Amino acid sequence: MKTKEYAILTDYLTKNYGDFTAVNNLNLKVEKGKIYGLLGPNGAGKTTLIKMLCSISTPTSGGAHILGKKIPDGDIASKIGYMPQETGVYFGLTVDQNMKFYSRIFNLQREKAEKRIAELLKFVDLEDWRYEMVDNLSGGMKHRVSLACTLIHEPDLLFLDEPTVGVDPELRVSFWDYFEQLRDNGVTILITTHYMDEARRCDRIGFMQRGRLIAEDSPLKLLEESGKDSLEDAFLAFARNEDTMRMGVV
Amino acid sequence: MKFYRIMAVSRRVFRGVVNDKRSLVLLFLAPILAMCVFGIAFSGDVENVNVIIINQDQGFTPPMGDTIYLADEIVNNLNTTTLSIHNMTSIDDARAEVESGQVSAVIIFPEDFSENAILKSQDQSYPNSAEITIEGDDSIVNIKTAITTTVSTALSDTLTENGVTPAIQLNSDPIYGEDAEFIDFFVPGILAFVVYLLTTILTLITFVNERSSGTLERVLSSPVTEGELVMGYAITFGTFGVLQVALLLTIAILVFNIMVVGNVLLAFLAVAILAISCQALGILLSSLAKRAEQAIQFFPLVILPAFLLSGIFWPIQAIPEWIRPFSYLVPPTYAANACRAVMLKGWGLDKIWPDILALVIFAVIFLALAVWTLKRSKN
């Protein structure tokens, strides 16, 4: 069955807000065990797409299969991890309390949760801040807490919406090392980013513009195809090409 | 619905409130302060009202008897806690005092006061009645009422002392609320009001934050359903409601010595259900606000109807009849009613069940609507 090979498979997925089309008949395929990077300007529909895939936004039309199951599906929710742009952590709780809360809603056993929290805090380098109120942490630290909360239940599929904003370069590199390690263990990651050095580390990249996927391939192929030497230039080339085609249709 | 997820949410909400000192103060110190301020300010009857007495009464000497000065007797019977009495002789000067705001009223006994009173009581066909004239500043209704009541009490006391018994007598024999004071009426109302207000506002703010910080989306992307989320909030705020009431009642009993005739647990029940519908109302309202600053604009909308309509500070009977149906559309009305019936009249569940039922209906409707708005926001 085709749906089984893909962690994400969308079928003419569309989302309208009134007259505005945020996601337009999108057919996206993400293979299991890959890191897929979504690139595109603000307002291209990346976040809306992710929200639909996490079942927190209902598509206007079309549908999607996540990990082989048609969404919305009650069982899928415990297998995915969603890291929202707005961080999605409780500022009025300590780091520890945040992580315990997320471990509870995924029904982690107490010892298991303790172990995960210790591991993850070590990974995001926040062991010394465990009992600090999130409100008192810097922006980058809040993002690190958010990532740790996303990973607490060892999800099979990760949706990371700009996870490295405000994170210092050194830590960003270690984040990506960890993402690759997760991928090597079979975890699928859909990630949005504006950093081109990060995009280069993806297995596959999709360029999004005005709710559509205008180009998709491995980073190297995209550079080759566009004849440019940076992904920014490649994106602009594809975007211009797309605009010309649209003009031609009109 | 999974209980462990509901409890996880409930614990999270509880932690959030406990971690934030300001929320704690709002939940527990503010109601105590409000009760004390209102309780002290409203409990006092009107006192020390300045009045001027112009006593021109010449008295009356019956054949073969001593002269009787009835006006003096009435003045002596005036309650001097309520009225501070000053004597003057010139009516014009006294009026000037009222006009300048120094005193609230002039009470005038004319020269023939005793004469008319005694002759009229002996012979009904006697043409003149004895008259007491009160010329006052009637613009403050409470003070006006206090003066009239004090004078008429003194009058009827004087008549009784003189052996004049009125033809008709009014007896008051309380079935409920013997020796009840205003504070006894007031405390059950403020319980309902405080829980309504603070629960709605705190949930509103908490939930607006939950929306803007992305936690709502993260939680809803997890196995937690909208229903579980709302129930988690309901459990925490229901518990806070009960704790608030327990604290307020303890202080009300210890400090204000209020009357509790019935089973306090029933009052807890009523207020807990009220708190549950209020937190759902808070979630409902939060869907209309993007940020906490916008949520603040709803405060008057939350506060005013309950303050004015739900019979907390004055009975519903004092509200114009055409507005009264709206009183029955605000949940605190039923909670105040139930608490009052339990505490002042000692009623049991057999009698307050209509109020409890109304509260349960509100809770169910608001909870369902809260879940519905959460689901709808996905579109």
Q: What is the pLDDT of residues A117-130, one digit of tens each?
A: 999 999 999 999 99
Per the structure block, which two tokens stand in for A81?
């991890």
Residue from A35, A40, A24 nearest A196 by CA: A40
For the segment B289-293, the average pLDDT, to the nearest whole number, is: 82
Residue B20: its chain A contacts at CB < 8 A? 92
Distance from CA of B34 to the nearest CA of A (A): 27
Q: Does A53 touch chain B (CB under 8 A)?
A: no
Identify whether A188 is part of a domain: no
- Find the residue in B nearest to A89 (Cα): B215
- Domain interval for residue A139: 86-154
Three-class SS of chain B: CCHHHHHHHHHHHHHHHHHCHHHHHHHHHHHHHHHHHHHHHHHCCCCCEEEEEEECCCCECCCCCCCECHHHHHHHHCCCCCEEEEEECCHHHHHHHHHCCCCCEEEEECCCHHHHHHHHHHCCCCCCCCCCEEEECCCCHHHHHHHHHHHHHHHHHHHHHCCCCCCCCCCCCCCCCCCCCHHHHHHHHHHHHHHHHHHHHHHHHHHHHHHHCCHHHHHHHCCCCHHHHHHHHHHHHHHHHHHHHHHHHHHHHHHCCCCCCCCHHHHHHHHHHHHHHHHHHHHHHHCCCCCHHHHHCCHHHHHHHHHHHCCCCCCHHHCCCCCHHHHCCCCHHHHHHHHHHHHHHCCCHHHHHHHHHHHHHHHHHHHHHHHHHHHHCCC
Q: Does residue A124 form part of some domain?
A: yes
What local confidence, expressed as pLDDT, does residue A200 receive? 92
pLDDT at position A249 over 60: no
The model's pLDDT over A153-168, given as tens digits with 9 standing for 90+, comes to 999 999 999 998 888 8
The answer to whether A133 contacts chain B (CB < 8 Å) is yes
Q: ipTM score here?
A: 0.92
A101 contacts B12? CB cut-off 8 A: yes
pLDDT at B219: 96
Q: Find, in chain A, the residue whose alpha carbon is nearest to that of B232.
A: A105
Write the residue in A57, A105, A150 that is nearest to B224 by C-beta.
A105
Percent of chain A, pLDDT > 70?
A: 97
Q: Is residue A248 part of a domain?
A: no
Q: What is the pLDDT of residue B44?
A: 63
pLDDT value of position B191: 86
Residue B275: the pLDDT is 92
By Cβ distance, the residue of B209, B214, B223 closest to A105 is B223
B15/A105 Cβ within 8 A: no
| Cβ–Cβ under 8 Å, residues B259 and B293 | no
pLDDT value, residue A3: 64
Is the CB of B223 inside 8 Å of chain A's CB atoms? yes
User: Which H or E run contains A113?
Assistant: helix A110-123
- Closest-CA distance, B149 to chain A, in angstroms, reads 57
Set of chain B residues whose Cβ sits within 8 Å of the Cβ of A97: 12, 15, 19
Query: Each residue of B191-215: pLDDT tens digit?
Result: 888 889 889 988 998 999 999 999 9
Q: Render pLDDT for B134-172 as a digit per residue (tens, 0 to 9).
A: 998 888 888 888 899 899 989 888 888 887 777 787 788
Minimal C-alpha gap between A17 and chain B (Å): 8
Quick check: is A64 in a domain? no
| Domain tally, chain A | 1
Write the residue in B8, B215, B378 that is nearest to A90 by C-beta: B215
Q: Which residue has the tokens 């705001």?
A: B101
| Chain A residues with beta carbon closer than 8 angstroms to that of B223 | 74, 77-78, 105-106
The identity of residue A34, as a single letter, is: K
The pLDDT-based confidence of B179 (bands split at 50, 70, 90) is confident
Q: Which amino acid is at B272?
A: A
**Residue among B219, B207, B235 at smallest CA distance from B373:** B207
**Per-residue pLDDT at A250:** 45
State the pLDDT at residue B108.
93
Task: Given CATH 1.10.1380.10, say whether it is the number of domain B47-161.
Answer: no
pLDDT in tens, A12-49: 999 999 999 999 999 999 999 999 999 999 889 999 99
* Selection from B13, B17, B6, B11 nearest residue B229 by Cα: B6
Spell out the domain ranges in chain B. 3-42+178-376, 47-161
Contact list, A57 vs chain B (CB under 8 Å): 378-379
Overall average pLDDT of the B10-35 stretch: 90
Using a CB-CB cut-off of 8 Å, the residues of chain A touching B7 are: 104
Contact state of B222 with A102 under an 8 Å Cβ cutoff: yes
* pLDDT tens-digit series, residues B337-371: 999 999 988 999 999 999 999 999 999 999 999 99
* A56 contacts B217? CB cut-off 8 A: yes
In tens, the pLDDT along B230-273 reads: 999 999 999 998 899 889 888 888 888 888 889 989 999 999 99
Distance CA B241, CA B250 (A): 14
Across the strands, what pairs with A94? Answer: A133
Is the CB of A179 inside 8 Å of chain B's CB atoms?
A: no
* The pLDDT value given to residue A1: 47
Whether A229 has its CB under 8 Å from any CB of chain B: the answer is no
Give the integer Cα–Cα distance in Å for A31 and B236.
43
Given an 8 Å threshold on Cβ–Cβ distance, is B217 in contact with A54?
yes
Q: Is B24 on the interface with A (CB under 8 A)?
A: no
Asked whether residue A95 is assigned to any structural domain, the reply reads: yes
With CA atoms as reference, report the closest residue to B207 among B278, B277, B283: B283
Q: Side chain identity at B151, as an amino acid letter?
A: V
Output the six-digit token pair for B13. Answer: 């909400």
What are the tens digits of pLDDT across the range A63-115?
Answer: 999 999 998 888 899 999 999 998 999 999 999 999 999 999 999 999 999 99
Judge whether A104 is closer than 8 Å to chain B, CB to CB: yes
**Using 50, 70 and 90 to split pLDDT, how confident is the model at B287?**
confident
Residue A60 located in a structural domain = no
Query: B135 CB near a chain A CB, below 8 Å?
Result: no
- Asked if A87's CB is within 8 angstroms of B213's CB, the reply is yes
CB A5 within 8 A of CB A31: yes
- Which residue in chain B is spatially nearest to A90 when comparing CA positions? B215
Picking from B4, B5, B16, the nearest residue to A92 by CB comes out as B16
- Residue A246 scores a pLDDT above 80: no
* A80 within domain boundaries: no
Residue A103 lies in a domain: yes
C-alpha A22: how far from chain center: 17
Q: Which of B8, B16, B217 sits opposite A104 (nearest CB)?
A: B8
